[in-house]
């Protein structure tokens, strides 16, 4: 199913289309971020505890940790866990490591980069989205709203959009050495080669023959029929990048 | 020239420009101090990209080229439309103009929330005065046992916990309560009423309980320096929370969603000030309030002095807001 879109009008007259991230992408990003912040907070606490108390325990028996332990070990660990999202979202202009990995980004409803205020409001409302446990309120609102937003997003006027890094690399492939190749056929050939291993043998052979029949006039139908999977793949690669 | 050859020629002519887009967009996004010439160049690029996208959508629909152009176009759109970045001016506007405006708008809500808090405190007092056994529902066992033994839990607090730790613990707890009182306003304001009422009820109940054991004066002495602002801030956060509920019950915009967003943006400005005031309260409560040698007169001066600072901040005068005189018709 295609991701829902938001269309924004632009002064150029050409609309901007943003693909909205669904529940899956949001949850994926959250789970990655949760692991990162939990590991960072635990790492800080465990190193600090080892250095302060000499052993990895919550409270050393017979010893009361001083104010220094609280201020330099416990407080920063809690800080890392609680302020991970607001701090990184502000510093990374609406992204976090988890969001980057999941290919999503926060934007305002007008498509621009959210400001500090919007990002803080979005994070304050985690107090409600996280209720009663495991972000159930947030999950429910994400599932039942058109634009898959949680309460924090509604309050801050933000959206989570899909941002596929693949787009940046696709311009690099735009100039196939074979200039005579139809760009639409080149597009299909790239896609077939990328998905080669995921497709079953029969399907990829059929698709490769059909594409080569359109793009490589030097091959006769008999030659095509006689080619195996590996040969077809090599031939497709040659069509895209013919050796001089 | 055939249509296909024309498409090829067009692609060949544009492709070099597109290949340079990624680093250009990256540079535009990262920097904030663009010269007017660079800004104009970005707008020109936006126009050119719009033209290319329009053509690509027509001749190569759903292709990777079109998707890549759409992605770059959306990114450039977000860069061009982002708000100007001037921290100093933004902060001055926030504290001089926006917060006083919200506080003025919220005056009736602040009055009603404060009244609810006072009435709940009265109800708490009455409840414990009539049924002292109910204190176990509102206070911890440790606190009850301490008071029954004639010892207030605030006594010797500094011997157990250092002031710095105490302050941070208190201020983070107070900020969390205020943020919660604001956020639960999303439940049509009922959540805010609940939080304000329970806080008032507990305060009244604890004062009544300590009064029964002849220690209300001691508790009042402890609360005076930080309590004036701390309790006011909780009422302010509650009033901001009712703004969310009001926006959902009686929307001021085309949809409830828009109305809620507008109210959240506006009310959250007040919360910035609330958080700052609570940081001050945390330090007073951690350093001054538990100190038995700090005299009552000084506590009153600190409490009410900080209260005046709060009013100055709410009206904007603390940050240099000029008093606006009504114009005289000629």
Alpha helices in chain B (DSSP H): 3-19, 21-30, 36-59, 64-81, 87-93, 99-105, 107-130, 135-138, 141-148, 157-160, 163-183, 190-212, 216-249, 256-283, 296-315
Residues A79 and A128 in one domain: yes
A190 in contact with B at a CB cutoff of 8 Å? yes
Record: contact B70-A13, CB cut-off 8 A: no
Record: contact B8-A183, CB cut-off 8 A: yes
ipTM value for the complex: 0.84
Residues A22 and A78 in one domain: yes
**Distance of alpha carbon B74 from the chain centroid:** 30
B158 in contact with A at a CB cutoff of 8 Å? no
- Give the C-alpha separation, B80 to B70, whole Å: 15
- Give the C-alpha separation, B76 to B56, whole Å: 17
Determine the Cα angle at A65 with ends A60 and A69, to 5°: 120
Domain presence at residue A198: yes
Query: Which residues of chain A neighbour B79 with C-beta distances below 8 Å?
Result: 112-113
Cβ contact B28:B82 at 8 Å: no
B64 in contact with A at a CB cutoff of 8 Å? yes
Query: Which residues of chain A neighbour B165 with C-beta distances below 8 Å?
Result: 67, 70-71
A113 → closest Cβ in B51, B82, B180: B82
Distance from CA of A236 to the nearest CA of B (A): 18
Residue B269: pLDDT over 70: yes
pLDDT digits (tens, 9 = 90+) for B22-73: 888 888 888 878 888 988 999 999 999 999 999 988 888 878 888 888 888 9
Domain with A223, as residue range(s), is 183-238
pLDDT digits (tens, 9 = 90+) for B143-164: 888 888 888 877 766 667 777 7
Whole-model pTM: value is: 0.82
Residues A86 and A57 in one domain: yes
Question: What letter would DSSP give residue A20?
Answer: B
Cβ contact B34:B42 at 8 Å: yes
Residues A111 and A47 in one domain: yes
Residues A51 and A102 in one domain: yes
Beta-carbon count within 10 A of A163 CB: 22
Domain presence at residue A130: yes
Domain presence at residue A10: yes
Domain presence at residue A175: no
pLDDT digits (tens, 9 = 90+) for A165-203: 665 566 666 655 666 677 778 888 888 888 898 999 899
Intra-chain end-to-end CA distance of chain A, in Å = 42
Domain boundaries, chain B: 8-81, 88-319
Provide the number of structural domains found in chain A: 2
**Interval B165-169 mean pLDDT:** 82
Q: Which residue in B19, B77, B160, B273 has the most chain A C-beta atoms within 10 A of its own C-beta, making it the best mutation to test that interface? A: B77
Q: Nearest Cα to A211, choosing from A181, A169, A179?
A: A181
Residues A149 and A201 in one domain: no
Q: Which residue in A167, A176, A181, A186 has the most chain B C-beta atoms within 10 A of its own C-beta, making it the best mutation to test that interface? A: A167
Residue A226: pLDDT over 60: yes
Mean of the per-residue pLDDT values of chain A: 87
A167 → closest Cβ in B68, B82, B269: B68
Q: State the angle between helix axes of A116-124 and B163-183 in degrees (0 to 180), rounded to the nearest 10.
A: 90
Cβ contact B115:B330 at 8 Å: no
Chain A and chain B share a number of CB contacts under 8 A equal to 138
In A, minimum Cα distance to B259 occurs at A155
Record: contact B64-A170, CB cut-off 8 A: yes
Per-residue pLDDT at A13? 84
B95: confidence class by pLDDT, cuts 50, 70, 90: very high
Q: B270: buried, middle or exposed (CB in 10 Å: 19+, 13-18, 0-12)?
A: buried
Per-residue pLDDT at A120? 94
B190 in contact with A at a CB cutoff of 8 Å? no
Per-residue pLDDT at B330? 43
Cβ contact B278:B64 at 8 Å: no
Q: Which residue in B20, B24, B71, B263 has the most chain A C-beta atoms within 10 A of its own C-beta, making it the best mutation to test that interface? A: B71
Residues A136 and A193 in one domain: no
B170: confidence class by pLDDT, cuts 50, 70, 90: confident
Residues A143 and A55 in one domain: yes
Residues A123 and A40 in one domain: yes
In B, minimum Cα distance to A91 occurs at B30
């Amino acid at each position: 199913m295609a991701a829902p879109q938001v269309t924004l009008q632009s002064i150029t007259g050409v609309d901007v289309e943003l693909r909205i991230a669904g529940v899956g992408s949001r949850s994926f990003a959250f789970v990655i971020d949760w692991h990162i912040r939990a590991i960072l907070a635990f790492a800080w606490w465990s190193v600090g505890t080892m250095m302060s108390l000499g052993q990895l325990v919550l409270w050393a028996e017979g010893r009361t940790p001083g104010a220094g332990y609280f201020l330099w070990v416990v407080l920063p660990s809690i800080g890392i866990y609680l302020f991970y999202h607001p701090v990184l979202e502000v510093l990374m202009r609406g992204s976090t490591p988890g969001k980057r990995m999941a290919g999503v980004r926060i934007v305002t409803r007008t498509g621009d980069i959210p400001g500090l205020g919007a990002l803080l409001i979005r994070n304050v409302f985690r107090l409600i989205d996280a209720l009663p446990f495991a972000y159930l309120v947030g999950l429910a609102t994400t599932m039942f709203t058109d634009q898959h937003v949680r309460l924090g997003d509604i309050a801050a006027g933000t959206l989570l959009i899909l941002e596929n890094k693949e787009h940046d690399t696709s311009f690099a492939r735009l100039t196939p050495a074979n200039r005579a190749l139809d760009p639409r056929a080149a597009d299909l050939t790239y896609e077939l080669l990328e998905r080669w291993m995921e497709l079953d043998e029969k399907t990829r052979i059929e698709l490769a023959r059909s594409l080569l029949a359109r793009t490589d006039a030097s091959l006769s139908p008999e030659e095509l029929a006689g080619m195996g999977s590996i040969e077809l793949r090599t031939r497709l690669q040659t069509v895209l990048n013919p050796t001089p | 020239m055939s249509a296909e050859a024309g498409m090829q020629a067009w692609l060949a002519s544009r492709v070099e420009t597109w290949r340079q887009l990624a680093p250009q967009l990256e540079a535009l996004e990262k920097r904030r101090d663009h010269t007017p010439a660079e800004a104009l160049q970005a707008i020109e690029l936006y126009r050119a990209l719009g033209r290319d996208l329009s053509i690509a959508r027509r001749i190569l629909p759903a292709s990777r080229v079109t998707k890549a152009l759409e992605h770059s176009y959306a990114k450039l759109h977000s860069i061009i439309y982002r708000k100007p970045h001037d921290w100093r001016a933004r902060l001055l506007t926030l504290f001089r103009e926006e917060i006083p405006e919200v506080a003025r708008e919220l005056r009736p809500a602040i009055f009603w929330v404060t009244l609810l808090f006072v009435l709940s405190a009265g109800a708490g007092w009455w409840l414990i005065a009539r049924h002292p056994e109910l204190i176990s529902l509102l206070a911890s066992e440790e606190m009850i046992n301490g008071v029954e033994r004639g010892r207030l839990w605030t006594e010797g607090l500094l011997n157990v916990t250092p002031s710095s730790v105490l302050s941070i613990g208190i201020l983070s707890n107070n900020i969390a309560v205020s943020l919660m009182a604001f956020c639960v306003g999303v439940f049509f304001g009922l959540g805010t009423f609940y939080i304000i009422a329970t806080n008032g009820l507990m305060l009244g109940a604890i004062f009544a309980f300590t009064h029964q054991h002849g220690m209300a004066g001691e508790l009042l002495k402890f609360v005076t320096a930080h309590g004036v602002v701390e309790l006011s801030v909780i009422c302010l956060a509650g009033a901001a929370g009712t703004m969310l509920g009001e926006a959902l019950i009686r929307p001021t915009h085309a949809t409830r969603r828009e109305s809620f967003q507008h109210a959240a943006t506006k009310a959250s400005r007040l919360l910035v000030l609330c958080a700052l005031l609570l940081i001050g309260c945390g330090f007073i409560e951690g350093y001054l309030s538990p100190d038995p040698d700090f005299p009552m007169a000084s506590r009153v001066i600190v409490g009410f002095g900080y209260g005046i600072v709060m009013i100055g901040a709410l009206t904007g005068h603390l940050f240099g807001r000029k008093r606006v005189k009504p114009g005289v018709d000629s």
